[in-house]
Amino acid sequence: MGILLEKNNGYDVITDEQRQEMEDYCAQYIDFMNAAKTERECVVECIKLAEAKGFKPYVQGMELKPGDKVYYNNRGKNIDLAVIGKRSLAEGANIAAAHTDSPRLDFKPQPLYEDEEMSYLKTHYYGGIKKFQWVTIPLEIHGMVCLKDGTNKYVKWGEGDEPKFVITDILPHLGKSQASKTLGEAIPGENLNLLIGSEPVKDKEAKQRFKQHVMELLNEKYGIIEEDLMSAEIQAVPAFKATEIGFDRSLIGAYGHDDRVCAFAELKALLDMKEIPDRTAVCIFADKEEVGSMGITGMISQAFEHFMNSLCKSQGVDLYDCFSQSFCLSADVTAALDPIFMEVFEKNNESRINHGIAICKYTGGRGKGGASDANAETVAYIRKIFSENGVLWQLAEMGKIDEGGGGTVALDMANRNIETIDAGVPVLSMHAPFEVVSKLDCYMTYRGCKAVFEARK
Ligand code: MN
Ligand code: MN
């Protein structure tokens, strides 16, 4: 090793064996992405994969011994999984936390209306989106409809050969005044209305013939009445499938890489663990990160304390002693350097595609505002365990100073007195309906999570 920092492209260092493992891993990731387009679907897929590897739902008061595998499903939207380690939880746990909610269009509580002989559903966008990216693309509708009688129906409208939905935009021929607006103003939030039908019911006397036709179809098929939409939690998500990108197939395009690409990496790393870990390993799929991690299923929720405290109690350990000795990898994506938009990047300090998992000492913006700035000792620790375990890593900021910034769940974990650092997959077009990552970085993030879980600390 020389005294100057070497920045390696992963393809110059990866072995043939690793390359095969990378392809297998990424094929599984693509399947996961096609099965899970919402946080609820991520929890369902997670449980399916975990139970196949012997994980059991945690039941209060359950006796636990080293090697036991349990999960805690928090209201179907957030899940924590643990493999009990050989050492006491008083010596801390190795935690990896990612989020599985992604930017999207949520339905308003009273979404359905008709206008000029067409039917629409009104949405309220969730998370940081560029609104103009969500028009004129095929969309699906996924979510939970809770009926008055107590039955809950999870719907996925628009999958496979089913019809899709779309938000329309002005034709360029009439777009003169729209073109003079800023990108942020060109598509107002109240324009994000899904076109869902145009055929009326036969009865010419009916008051809202177009809206009624849609409701009749929904009622016939799912028993839903309009009032049920008021208690529903439904999202419009892109209808694209996850797919390989590029002639060399080296990249993956999908909706929701942020942050399912890290969630899948930590889940796989946990499920692939062959030996009983030294320290208890905990994997978290958090909800609500894109809107600030608040709420009962967000990372700030005491649901995490409840689960960890249950594990601690089984060993007679104080939760805060456990937290104070624990380590958390806040596994979240970062912005990959994009040569088409060089003006927002500082090229010495950006993550690069195919350079491995990107460690972020701090996130935030405008003078590190809102950042969980990891200590030097923490950065040194993570680079040590990555290097010792053949994990290709890089250190990154997100964009030029004062260009913007972002946050993760890192500060929610650090606030619990858990030593925490951010690291994850670099993403191109982050928060777009179709984001791009590299296979190599996905694979290295998986290896990075494995190294964290297996570390003796
Ligand atoms: Mn994220
Ligand atoms: Mn995000």
Span 176-200, mean pLDDT? 97
Q: How far is the CA of 29 from the centre of ligand 1 (A)?
A: 17
Q: How far is the CA of 257 from the centre of ligand 2 (A)?
A: 9
Q: How far is the CA of 297 from the centre of ligand 1 (A)?
A: 16
Q: How far is the CA of 440 from the centre of ligand 2 (A)?
A: 21
pLDDT tens per residue, range 14-52: 999 999 999 999 999 999 999 999 999 999 999 999 999
Span 153-168, mean pLDDT? 96
Between the alpha carbon of residue 67 and those of residues 54, 91, 225, 454, the distances in Å are 11, 16, 48, 13
pLDDT tens per residue, range 294-353: 999 999 999 999 999 999 999 999 999 999 999 999 999 999 999 999 999 999 999 999
Q: For residue 48, how many other CB atoms are within 10 A of its CB?
A: 12
Ligand showing the shortest atom-to-Cα distance for residue 291: 2
pLDDT tens per residue, range 205-256: 999 999 999 999 999 999 999 999 999 999 999 999 999 999 999 999 999 9
| Exposed e or buried b per residue across 132-158, where buried means at least 16 C-beta atoms within 10 angstroms of its C-beta | ebbbeeebbbbbbbebeeeeeeebebb
Q: How far is the CA of 93 from the centre of ligand 2 (A)?
A: 26
Compute the distance between CA of residue 161 and CA of residue 179 in angstroms, rounded to an integer: 35
The tokens 């179809």 sit on which residue?
Answer: 217
Q: What is the set of domains in the chain, with CATH numbers?
A: 10-102+255-454 (3.40.630.10), 104-238 (2.30.250.10)
**Whether pLDDT at 1 is above 70:** no
Ligand showing the shortest atom-to-Cα distance for residue 128: 2
368: left (phi over 0), alpha (psi -120 to 50) or beta: left
Query: Which residues are paired to 239 by β-bridges?
Result: none
Q: Which residues contact 88 (CB under 8 A, 6 or more apart)?
A: 315, 317
Compute the distance between CA of residue 243 and CA of residue 252 in angstroms, rounded to an integer: 6
C-alpha neighbours within 13 Å on the C-beta side of residue 32: 29
Compute the distance between CA of residue 184 and CA of residue 27 in angstroms, rounded to an integer: 36
Q: Give residue 390's pLDDT.
A: 96
Reduced to 3 states, what is the DSSP secondary structure of residue 72? strand
Q: How far is the CA of 253 from the centre of ligand 1 (A)?
A: 16
Compute the distance between CA of residue 445 and CA of residue 198 in angstroms, rounded to an integer: 46
Cα torsion through 275, 45, 98, 23, rounded to 10: 70
Q: Model pTM greater than 0.85? A: yes
Q: How far is the CA of 127 from the centre of ligand 2 (A)?
A: 7
Ligand showing the shortest atom-to-Cα distance for residue 261: 1
Q: How far is the CA of 125 from the centre of ligand 2 (A)?
A: 14
Q: How far is the CA of 406 from the centre of ligand 2 (A)?
A: 8
Between the alpha carbon of residue 273 and those of residues 83, 282, 359, 392, the distances in Å are 9, 12, 23, 20
Q: DSSP class of residue 271?
A: H
Q: How far is the CA of 382 from the centre of ligand 1 (A)?
A: 20
pLDDT tens per residue, range 419-437: 999 999 999 999 999 999 9
Q: How far is the CA of 17 from the centre of ligand 2 (A)?
A: 32
Compute the distance between CA of residue 347 and CA of residue 339 in angstroms, rounded to an integer: 10
Q: How far is the CA of 259 from the centre of ligand 2 (A)?
A: 7
Q: How far is the CA of 168 from the centre of ligand 1 (A)?
A: 28
Q: How far is the CA of 256 from the centre of ligand 2 (A)?
A: 9
Q: Give residue 322's pLDDT.
A: 98
**Whether pLDDT at 397 is above 70:** yes
pLDDT band at 406 (very low <50, low <70, confident <90, very high): confident
Q: How far is the CA of 171 from the centre of ligand 1 (A)?
A: 34
Compute the distance between CA of residue 96 and CA of residue 406 in angstroms, rounded to an integer: 19
Cα torsion through 314, 320, 324, 325, rounded to 10: -10
Taking only Cα atoms into account, the Rg of the chain, rounded to an integer number of angstroms, comes to 23
Span 150-169, mean pLDDT? 95
Contact 347, 438 (CB under 8 A): no
- Look at the alpha carbons of 300, 304, 309, 310 in this order and tell me if their dihedral is positive or negative: positive
Q: How far is the CA of 135 from the centre of ligand 2 (A)?
A: 20
Span 169-177, mean pLDDT? 97
With 0-12 / 13-18 / 19 or more C-beta atoms within 10 angstroms meaning exposed / middle / buried, residue 41 is buried
Q: How far is the CA of 233 from the centre of ligand 1 (A)?
A: 21
Q: How far is CA 62 from the centre of its chain?
A: 30
Compute the distance between CA of residue 336 and CA of residue 426 in angstroms, rounded to an integer: 5
Q: How far is the CA of 207 from the centre of ligand 1 (A)?
A: 45
pLDDT over 90 percentage in the chain = 94
Q: How far is the CA of 431 from the centre of ligand 2 (A)?
A: 6
Q: How far is the CA of 314 from the centre of ligand 1 (A)?
A: 33
Compute the distance between CA of residue 56 and CA of residue 340 in angstroms, rounded to an integer: 47
Q: How far is the CA of 69 from the centre of ligand 2 (A)?
A: 29
Reduced to 3 states, what is the DSSP secondary structure of residue 266? helix
Span 349-365, mean pLDDT? 95
Between the alpha carbon of residue 240 and those of residues 167, 188, 237, 248, the distances in Å are 15, 24, 9, 20
Q: Give residue 416's pLDDT.
A: 98
Q: How far is the CA of 198 from the centre of ligand 1 (A)?
A: 37
Tokens representing 35 are 């099965």
Compute the distance between CA of residue 139 and CA of residue 1 in angstroms, rounded to an integer: 50
**H or E element at residue 153:** strand 152-157
Higher pLDDT, 365 or 105: 105
Tokens representing 372 are 């969980």
**Strand pairing class (251-254; 435-438):** antiparallel
Q: Give residue 404's pLDDT.
A: 86
Q: How far is the CA of 358 from the centre of ligand 1 (A)?
A: 13
Q: How far is the CA of 406 from the centre of ligand 1 (A)?
A: 9
Ligand showing the shortest atom-to-Cα distance for residue 409: 1
In single-letter form, the type of residue at position 284 comes to I
Average pLDDT, the chain: 96
Q: How far is the CA of 152 from the centre of ligand 1 (A)?
A: 29
Q: How far is the CA of 430 from the centre of ligand 2 (A)?
A: 7
Ligand showing the shortest atom-to-Cα distance for residue 286: 1
**Whether pLDDT at 131 is above 70:** yes
pLDDT band at 118 (very low <50, low <70, confident <90, very high): very high
Query: Which residues are paired to 153 by β-bridges?
Result: 145
Helix (H), strand (E) counts: the chain? 11, 22
Compute the distance between CA of residue 249 and CA of residue 120 in angstroms, rounded to an integer: 38
